Amino acid sequence: MRPLPDIAGADAPFWQALRRRELRVQRCGSCGTHRFPATRYCPRCRSDRSDWQAVAPTGIVETWCVFHRAYFDDLPVPYTVIQVRLDCGVRLFSNPVAVETDALRIGLAVEAAFEDITPDVTLLKFKPRKDVA
Amino acid sequence: MPAFPQSTPVAVVGVGHTRYGKLPQHDPYELGLWALKEALADAGLAFDAVDGLIVNRIPDYQRFCEIAGLDPSYVSITPGQGRFSGICIETAAALIRDGLAHTVALVYGNNGRSGGDRYGGAGDTYGSGGGGQWFPYGMTSPGAFHALMARRHMELYGTTADQLGTVARTIRAHAALNPAAVMREPFTLADYHASRFICEPLHLLDYCLINDGGVALILTSGERARDLAQKPVYLRGYGMATALAASSFPPDDFWRAPMGKAAATSFRQAGIAHADVSALMIYDNFTPTVLFSLEGYGYCAPGESGPFAAAGHLALGGRCPTNTSGGHLSESYMQGWALNVEAVRQVRGACGARQVAGCAFAHYMAAAPVVTSIIYGRDPS
């Protein structure tokens, strides 16, 4: 079975937003810093006030790697993992779509690609932006 | 950090370890006790001399003391992460300097190979929080974390697979001179390229070796050290720094900032320069970490570690002989402990065929979210 996220846990608003083709991350109610995954306290100012804010579904590739050894059933190798920094500052691990691994570069501008993998679960993947050189 | 008080030097007076490899008849407690017996014998000390004990990776300190028959005045336990070898050594020095203990035993036991330890997959806990939220994308394992860093280094600086391969080959060539090393067969760059990718750009030969084993170190004050069996090896300088905030992701600077801080502290305490160091012991969980460490601790400028390694400077006879024991890549993955033993032995001049001539200073260093830098010296000041 492929690994599935805990969509009912503290990150539920993130997963629910992905179903709607929207990207939401936690935002500190005091200093405004975005963060993900969810934490009770803001790591920057330690406030416990927060909400889930829609953010631009865009960012850049920071680095990548290609798995040749399989660690999970039903995730056939090889597959590529990218590290993305969203424009709001949040970092994510994800997979690239619609781009060859050889074409990945540090700083490549990417945007969200929503991938439904079960009736309840949508994963956040990334594809190159067409509107940015 | 205050200057190292030179009036109270601390020395390593005993080192010991088990065989490395597959030791299914021993649990981590027994591996630790085996190593402790060796280390105390090396020091010429009896068990009742130990009044401070820190165990690492051994699951329970009480059980360990029970089977070892120990009642130390000070006891502590640390988690089984390699960054803790340096932390434990620095803590032991502080305990001795502050008089909380006179003779501290540091004991490590690891049955990772026989115990079936797996890095990566559903049980993976590398990084803070365990990383489970990234499993749906297939992201897991310390190896992948370092593969991401290696790729970034390659893209930014032009570091090549050949350069990583040279790190692995050089350390293997050193292991060939160490009878205790698990992997002693030299290999070529072609062999390196032919070894399978685990997480590209890293090949199998870029990964360390999961094995069973135990290691122990005995530390005491320089004053007591003079009367013991071995020539003391002094902790001339040490530094520690962390980059733990946001550490679920690789650091942009390859941990250069914390390493720079730890290096500055340890070199200032030791009162020496990089050129005075004869042997480097670099925490080589993966080959790229060796490159990051050379840059972070000041042996190379940022981005220059790949060509530096390719030029042969890490080999015995080179400018910075590195991991003369074979390190984690080829001796055994003893999470920094065996590298500290090798540093001590180099300074003692006890390394036989792999001895660096005239080794007055050896430098242990680790690149991780907690970085530690320890300079060992032949003389107390």
Query: pLDDT, tens digit, for every residue of B245-301?
Result: 999 999 999 999 999 999 999 999 999 999 999 999 999 999 999 999 999 999 999
For A72, nearest residue in chain B (alpha carbons): B121
- Establish if A16 belongs to a structural domain: yes
- The residue segments making up the domain with residue A77 are 12-128
A115–chain B nearest CA distance, Å: 11
Q: Can you tell me the distance from the alpha carbon of A111 to that of B255, in angstroms, rounded to the nearest whole number?
A: 29
Query: Which residues of B are less than 8 Å from A62 in CB distance?
Result: 152, 252
Could A83 and B144 be called an inter-chain contact, meaning their C-beta atoms sit closer than 8 Å? no
- Region B108-118: what's the mean pLDDT? 91
CA max distance for chain A = 43
- Strands of B210-337 (E only): list them: 212-221, 233-242, 279-282
pLDDT of residue B128: 52
**Which of A115-119, B73-77, B122-126, B203-207 bottoms out in mean pLDDT, i.e. has the lowest?**
B122-126
pLDDT digits (tens, 9 = 90+) for B140-179: 999 999 999 999 999 999 999 999 999 999 999 999 999 9
Record: contact A81-B132, CB cut-off 8 A: no
What topology is assigned to B1-117+210-230 in CATH?
Peroxisomal Thiolase; Chain A, domain 1 (3.40.47)
Min distance A94 CA to chain B CA atoms (Å): 6
ipTM of the complex: 0.97
pLDDT band at B127 (very low <50, low <70, confident <90, very high): low
Q: Å from B121 to nearest chain A CA?
A: 5
Residue B312 forms contact with A (CB below 8 Å): no
Q: Evaluate whether residue A5 is within a structural domain.
A: no
Instruction: Let me know if residue A3 belongs to a domain.
Output: no
Residue A48 lies in a domain: yes
pLDDT computed for residue B126 by the predictor: 67
Average pLDDT over residues B340-358: 98
- Examine the pLDDT at B1 and tell me if it is beyond 50: no
Contact present, A120 and A90 (Cβ < 8 Å): no
Tell me the fold of B122-209+233-381. Peroxisomal Thiolase; Chain A, domain 1 (3.40.47)
Q: How many domains does chain A have?
A: 1
Mean pLDDT of chain B: 95
Give the model confidence (pLDDT) of B16-41 as tens digits.
999 999 999 999 999 999 999 999 99
Contacts of B156 in chain A (CB under 8 A): 106
Residues of A within 8 A of B254 (CB-CB) are none
B205 inside 8 A of chain A by CB: no
**Partner residue facing A93 (CB), from B137, B197, B198:** B137
Of residues B137, B147, B201, nearest to A94 (C-beta): B137
Q: How do the domains of chain B map onto residue ranges?
A: 1-117+210-230, 122-209+233-381
| B121 vs B332 pLDDT, higher one | B332
Q: Is residue A46 part of a domain?
A: yes
What are the pLDDT digits (tens) for B46-70? 999 999 999 999 999 999 999 999 9
A47 in Cβ contact with A27 (< 8 Å): no
B121 and A CB contact within 8 Å = yes
pLDDT of B5 above 80: no
Chain A interface test: which of B134, B137, B203, B252 (most A C-beta within 10 Å): B137
Closest residue to B152, CB basis, from A63, A67, A121: A63
CB A28, CB A50: distance < 8 Å:
yes
What is the average pLDDT across B367-374? 97
Residue A133 domain flag: no
Would the CATH topology of B1-117+210-230 be identical to that of B122-209+233-381? yes
Give the lowest-confidence range in B116-125, B186-195, B269-278: B116-125
What is the model's pLDDT at position B334?
97
What are the φ and ψ backbone dihedral angles of B364, each rounded to 5 degrees? -95, 135
Query: Where would I find the H helices in B158-242?
Result: 161-175, 189-194, 222-225
B151 interface with A at CB cutoff 8 Å: yes
- Name every chain B residue with its beta carbon within 8 A of the beta carbon of A105: 155
Nearest to A123 among B136, B198, B250 (CB): B136
**Structural domain contains residue A63:** yes
Which of A51 and B127 is assigned the larger pLDDT? A51
Chain B 122-141, residues with CB within 8 Å of chain A CB atoms: 122, 124, 129, 132-141
8 Å CB contact of A95 and B129: no
Which residues does chain A have with pLDDT short of 50? none
**pTM, entire model:** 0.96
Q: Residue B301, exposed/middle/buried by CB under 10 A (0-12, 13-18, 19+)?
A: exposed
Q: How far is CA B156 from CA A123, B109, B150, B151, B260, in A?
A: 29, 39, 10, 9, 20
Q: How far is B327 from chain A (nearest CA, A)?
A: 24
- Characterize the bridge pairing of strands A79-86 and A91-94: antiparallel
Active site positions of B, annotated? 283, 333
Residue among B138, B199, B252 minimizing CB distance to A72: B138
- Reply yes or no on whether the pLDDT at B243 is more than 70: yes
Residue B12 has pLDDT above 80, yes or no: yes
Q: Output the pLDDT for position A82.
A: 98
Strand ranges in chain B using DSSP code E only, listed in sequence order = 10-17, 52-56, 74-78, 103-111, 197-200, 202-203, 212-221, 233-242, 279-282, 361-366, 370-377
- Tokens representing residue B48 in the block: 């009742």
Please name the residue of chain A whose CA is at the shortest distance from the CA of residue B204.
Answer: A69
Integer Cα distance of B238 and B340 in angstroms? 13
